[in-house]
Chains A and B, each alone.
Chain A
Amino acid sequence: MSNIIELDIGGMTCSSCAARIEKRLNRIPGVEASVNYATERAKVELADGATVEEAITSVEATGYSARLREQASTSVAVAGEAEAPTDEASALRHRLIVSAVLTAPVLVLSAIGAMQFDNWQWLALTLTAPVVVWGAWPFHRAAWTNARHAAATMDTLISVGVLAAFLWSLYALFFGAAGDPGMRMGFSLVPERGGGSADIYLEVASAVTVFILLGRWFEARAKKSSSAALRSLLEMGAKDVAVLSDGVETRISIDALVVGQDFVVRPGEKIATDGQIVEGTSAVDASMLTGEPVPVEVGPGDSVTGATVNAGGRLVVRATRIGADTQLAQMARLVEEAQTGKAPVQRLADRISAIFVPIVITLSVATLGFWLGAGAGTELAFTAAVAVMIIACPCALGLATPTALMVGTGRGAQIGVLIKGPQILESTRRVDTIVLDKTGTVTTGTMRLVDVVAGPGTDGDELLRMVGALEDASEHPIAAAIARGARERLGVLPPVAAFTSLQGLGVEGTVDGREVVVGRMGWLAERWSAAPDPVLLAALDGAESAGRTVVAAGWDGQLRGLVVVADTLKATSAQAVRELVALGLRPVLLTGDNARAARAIADEVGIEEVISEVMPADKVRVVGDLQAAGRVVAMVGDGVNDAAALAQSDLGIAMGTGADVAIEASDLTLVRGDLRAAVDAVRLSRQTLKTIKGNLFWAFAYNVAAIPLAVAGLLNPLIAGAAMAFSSVFVVTNSLRLRRFRAVSTTVTPEVQSHRVQAAPRAVTVS
């Protein structure tokens, strides 16, 4: 029998750490583990007598900390845990501020000769020492952990570079000429060989630390926000509940509710937990959970889900599932699992460093050998060898990713695209398939009047006027859509008298002296014992099979016609699909509708691949299946039911008009509900990634170009400073180019304009 546990892992600095821990855990017999760097958690399946202690010891032996994570029994406990602050960002911020304050004077003193006074170098050393030891401590620690596993990352490069610069400066100050009271930083126009022990590189050591800390702080802030997904999902649930006992209502906390207890849900209130209706009928708005705009009619015996909203009458519900067993809690688990199981994306800078660091160290040792062999003396040989390591550590390395990301996300915010962090950019390059959830993404997600089918002898406008006036008195979302459509088309609607709403059936009232009835076709036919007109029946059939909602209307004892409402296509969807295809993506429409209705929508927007009749909970499986087929999947969705699929996908894109949890579980958020923004999101992300790559190249290029000088023993602080300044300026300028990114979603094309005109409801009279 196997037991699944979760461990909180501490000390991971990059995704290769996660891979290393995973490898180590999986080496234990009977253990199957997956480690996620983003959530800092390990999911471990223990079998064949493997113990938790064994797993923890194994992680600790790898150089990281591990702690058993308590399984939350109630939703409140999970919410509480999710609220625990991530102090990584604040710790980095503290380190950054202190280091920056100490570094500023060192930079000024080193760069401006006029500011150098007697013994200035000792003040610079006093200020630099805490920055190198304490400020850069996270890099040293990570470098040490990596070194124990014969691995090199960006941390190794930083640590080696900073320590080389600092230790060399210490040597020069204590044993070389640099410690003389009247020492001035020489600005040699031509590098002088062998002047090493008179040169100090304190500003290099401290500035590199500050720049890298700045970059890390930006990254930590981005990581912190992703853990909010779970919290926002759980906050959706009701906090208290009105329990009904012997006919008396008592309001208690949701935690005190037990299975089998009856509770009251008033109109407009959230249903406290999953249960079965005992008394009352109503329409339940589950759009927050399912994304579907049509409320579900419910009555005694029907099951309801916690966190959905009671849109109609008073309900008495018997609790069937509470706490961690509810559908909402299960969804939270699904989101968490999808996040934990996601393949980590290794930082680009780490991948480069993994190759770069061994090369630099080898080159440094070769330089040492060369100068020793050439008989230049031990001091010059060591000067040249250390200089190679000092110059190899690019200061702009820490700026390459954050600056491009800052400008990219800033431009994104202007055009309505929010990018969550650098780790997702890599995914935008690789994705080849884009799954579009139909409701709320391709369509508007709100009901609109699309058709008025008048029966023989009835005028279409007259029918719409009567139905619109009567529905105006109802609060049902379908009624509201009809009333809004009627008012848009006909203007002021007549008043209604004697209005009555019959839950689940329809409404009736007097309009212009006529007894008007609007509701289900079956109810009207039964009420007047008359067979509906075959033409109307055919229209009803056609509309319903296309996934539309039809209401019948009549007066004076006769069925007069039909009014059709439907979720309508967004004006920009077709253009967006074309643009996505142009980006090399294969669009797939995902919907719970029947195959015919789904096909109709897909044809309208130009999508070839359709996955229909998918239950909300199965979306994550569909995405997983596509991934298993070798596709790299981006998913666009908006509902809570999309959250797990968004987290599972390689690139989750949430519509900002949707549920908070969907936004939190995604990688990219589109502020406007325009699908074209998804095109911009992918384009902007790819552009940002391209800029980051360019930045990394140039960050290294200036320093790499100076390596031959270091090898030749010709490096001095001026060259190190110039490489630092030029690469930083270049990286920042290159990043600023992203501000000129042009968005397609902010332009109104003639096609969009004409779609807006066509979207107005039309009236058809059947003669």
Chain B
Amino acid sequence: MTDARRLTLFAAGLLVALGLGLVVGTAAGPITAARPDVGVVVQGGEVS
């Protein structure tokens, strides 16, 4: 297989992956960054 052919195949693979991701993501429904239900413990290590 030539280099160009391999690169083309890889690029096509990436496009397919992106498309699949989009499809699955859309199907999974809206997910936002904010997660008020998750508790966060922050350990501050500041030196004053």
Contacts and interface: CB of A to CB of B under 8 A. Distances in A.
B45 A150 contact: no
A715 to B, nearest CB: 14
Interface of A: 112-117, 148-151, 182, 184-190, 192-194, 358, 361-363, 365-377, 379-380, 713
A190 B10 contact: no
Given A368-B18, A375-B31, A192 B38 contact: yes
Given A367-B21, A373-B25, A374-B26, A361 B14 contact: yes
A150 B21 contact: no
A114 B47 contact: yes
A366 B20 contact: yes
Contacts of A115: 47
Nearest to A182: B46
Given A114-B45, A190-B40, A190-B41, A365 B25 contact: no
B13 A362 contact: yes
A667 B22 CA distance: 53
B25 A374 contact: yes
A362 B9 CA distance: 12
A184 B25 CA distance: 33
Interface in B15-36: 17-35
B17 A150 contact: no
B45 A149 contact: no
A365 B21 CA distance: 8
- What 6 A-B pairs come out closest when comparing CB atoms? A113-B45, A369-B21, A373-B25, A194-B33, A150-B6, A370-B25
Contact of A150 (B3, B28, B35, B47): B3
A193 B30 contact: no
A370 to B, nearest CB: 4
Given A113-B46, A366-B21, A373-B27, 11 more contacts: A114-B45, A151-B3, A190-B38, A193-B38, A194-B35, A358-B10, A367-B21, A369-B24, A371-B31, A372-B21, A379-B33
A47 B16 CA distance: 46
Interface of B: 3-4, 6-7, 10, 13-14, 17-35, 38-47
A395 to B, nearest CB: 23
A626 B19 CA distance: 53
A602 B47 CA distance: 77
Nearest to B33: A194
A440 B20 CA distance: 66
B18 A369 contact: yes
Q: Which of A112, A363, A376 has the most CB of B within 10 A?
A: A376
Contacts of B44: 113, 184
B4 to A, nearest CB: 8
B10 A150 contact: yes
A188 B33 contact: no
Contact of A365 (B14, B23, B38): B14
A148 B26 CA distance: 34
Given A113-B45, A375-B30, A365 B39 contact: no
15 contacts: A148-B3, A151-B3, A187-B43, A192-B35, A192-B40, A361-B14, A362-B13, A365-B14, A365-B17, A366-B21, A370-B21, A373-B23, A373-B24, A374-B29, A376-B32
Given A194-B34, A365-B18, A373-B22, A116 B47 contact: yes
Contact of A369 (B10, B13, B25, B42): B25
Given A149-B3, A366-B21, A380 B33 contact: yes
B7 to A, nearest CB: 4
Contacts of A193: 33, 35, 38
Contacts of B45: 112-114, 116, 184-185, 187
A370 B28 CA distance: 9
Contacts of B19: 369
B30 A362 contact: no
Given A150-B10, A362-B17, A116 B29 contact: no
A447 B33 CA distance: 84
Contacts of B14: 361-362, 365
Nearest to A196: B33
